Amino acid sequence: MDTAQKLSSLIQLQTVSAPAADAAQQKLHDAAFAAFDTALAQLFPRLHEVCEVSHDTAAQLPLQLLWRGADAELAPVVLMAHYDVVPAPSSDADPEPFSGAIRDGFVHGRGALDDKGPLVVLLEAAEQLAAAGFQPPRDILFALGSDEEVQGITAKNLATAWRETGQVPYLVIDEGGAVVDQPLPGLPVPAAMIGVGEKGIATFKLRLRGKGGHASAPTTPSTLGRMARAVTRLEKQHFPARAPHTLMQMLRLFAAQAPRQQRHLLQALTTHPKVTAAALATRGGESAALVRTTVAVTGFQAGVADNVIAPSAEVTVNCRIAPGSSVAATARYLKRVVADPQITITTVYGEEPTELASTASPQWQLVAETVAKVWPGTLAAPYIMLANTDSRHWHRFTPAVYRFAPLQMSVAQRESIHGVGEKVAVSALQEGVAFWKLLLRALPGAQSALSEHIDNAQK
């Protein structure tokens, strides 16, 4: 069975982590999760033979495959992926989202890109190396999560356990960026986008209690009108825009490779961070999200009957917090913008922006050099992820945490993630396997670590 066929079989297991619409559907999802461990053992038998496999669901830990290296004294490598997926209702455009069909050079179905495709190329590379008798120079832990899509805790529990025992990985890689041909709108520069950090995330509740009353005798402002005014203020008065160092570094890399017309513009932007921030903010969408904390209104609950003035209203707001800010600062800003003492704002959940991994480290160099070998002429570009991954829990104590799914993805493919028509090219899977085989073979051993230590001391 080749890599595409393995992915196809795993897509057909409907490992949906969100609650199902009915008991029958939930039973199907539960059975898929229960079958996944067995399926992996059947698809990657040699890797399972050489690894210590554990899946302590009672302790709420991810599925772990520990591949012992030649030198147990060296800091290990943690390679992450997740196999849970978001729901994928059938539609005219995508009648069988869990078919795993292989046609027209693509593997189709939910999870092809997020994140079963990246998981499969990682394990397939290790399977091939294990079958060839390869032993890594240091321990490698494959940590495979089952609850990433629901902000679960298995990855957090694992990172916490490592931190409490004082273990610090040499390198952590999780899903994130990909190999793209247009990293920014209108910029045709082939790039491997490698996440070096993540924005923070926070959910807030806005609550307002009014008098209510009969709809035949309304007064203004009503509870709903007052809350609607608050929402309008939040959507119009954006957080301040700022161009972080990582963004400017990314633009400088692109400027060196961009076509002449875009090159001059990028070069100008790289020398004026305030202008860059303002320009991207005015574009809205993902461009604006690169330079500021964002606010998304995701829920609005109010009203008890058609002829009753709503006595209360509640709004849910999700914020993605830019580096340099915090959950507390975001809450304060929301209160200033809403400017209504009768509306209470409470923090339901919050995680701070992560630290940023270095692009001057040997670990970054390892990833960048491997990219250059598999995709010649492709830039390894750092960026800050707008969304969140399981790897965020390792930043507090691990310097080298990167996010990269070694798959080529077009703009349309990236837009299909969590949407309709998710698919991955068979050729992209082959390149992904090649990437991981090269990277795993290039992991530094004891002699490399000693040479690195001497070089650093001499500097």
Q: What does the pLDDT read at residue 457? A: 46
One-letter amino acid at 323 equals P
Per-residue pLDDT at 266 exceeds 80: yes
Closest CA to 435 of 39, 100, 120, 6: 120
- How, if at all, do strands 213-214 and 294-302 pair? unpaired
Q: 451 falls in which pLDDT band (50, 70, 90)? A: low
pLDDT digits (tens, 9 = 90+) for 335-350: 999 999 999 999 999 9
| SS3 of 261-315 | HHHHHHHHHHCCHHHHHHHHHHHCHHHHHCCCCEEEEEEEEECCCCCEECCEEEE
Q: What does the pLDDT read at residue 447? A: 63
Q: What does the pLDDT read at residue 459? A: 43
Q: 453 falls in which pLDDT band (50, 70, 90)? A: very low
Q: CB-hemisphere CA count at 13 Å for 226?
A: 25
Per-residue pLDDT at 54 exceeds 80: yes
Q: What does the pLDDT read at residue 176? A: 94
Spell out a b/e string for 236-263, using b for 16 or more CB atoms within 10 Å of the CB, else e.
eeebebbbbebbbbbbebbbebbeeebe
By the 8 A CB rule, do 413 and 96 touch? no
The secondary element (H helix, E strand) that includes residue 447 is helix 446-458
Q: Is 105 exposed, middle or buried (0-12, 13-18, 19+ CB in 10 A)?
A: exposed
pLDDT digits (tens, 9 = 90+) for 73-124: 999 999 999 999 999 988 877 889 999 999 999 999 999 999 999 999 999 9
CA 452 to chain centre: 31
* Structure tokens, 87: 């729901």
Q: Distance between CA atoms of 123 and 44, rounded to whole angstroms?
A: 7
Per-residue pLDDT at 422 exceeds 80: yes
Domains of the chain (ranges plus CATH)? 3-197+354-442 (3.40.630.10), 199-351 (3.30.70.360)
* Structure tokens, 368: 């960048």
**Angle in degrees, CA 34, 80, 10, rounded to 5:** 40
DSSP assignment letter at 390: G
125 φ/ψ angles, rounded to the nearest 5 degrees:
-60, -45
Per-residue pLDDT at 175 exceeds 50: yes
Q: Provide the 10 A C-beta neighbour count for residue 358.
A: 13
pLDDT digits (tens, 9 = 90+) for 9-28: 999 999 999 887 788 888 98
Q: Say whether 378 sits in a helix, a strand or coil.
A: coil
Which residues have CB under 8 Å from 229's CB, separation 6+? 221, 340
pLDDT digits (tens, 9 = 90+) for 369-417: 999 999 999 999 999 999 999 999 999 899 999 999 999 999 999 999 9
Which residues have CB under 8 Å from 77's CB, separation 6+? 136, 138, 139, 140, 141, 169, 170, 171, 172, 173, 443
Closest CA to 390 of 168, 111, 83: 83
Question: How many helices and strands, by DSSP H and E, does the chain display?
Answer: 15, 17
* Structure tokens, 300: 């609005």
* Structure tokens, 251: 């633009």
175 φ/ψ angles, rounded to the nearest 5 degrees:
-60, 170
Closest CA to 214 of 313, 309, 312: 309
**Poorest-pLDDT segment among 280-284, 327-331, 439-443:** 280-284
Per-residue pLDDT at 177 exceeds 70: yes
pLDDT digits (tens, 9 = 90+) for 355-365: 999 999 999 99
Mean pLDDT, the chain, whole residue set: 94
Per-residue pLDDT at 455 exceeds 60: no
Q: What does the pLDDT read at residue 458? A: 46
Q: What does the pLDDT read at residue 24? A: 87
Q: What's the pTM value of the predicted model, to 2 decimals?
A: 0.91
Selected residue with higher pLDDT from 167 and 265: 167
Which residues have CB under 8 Å from 176's CB, separation 6+? 193, 194, 195, 385, 389, 391, 402, 403, 404, 405
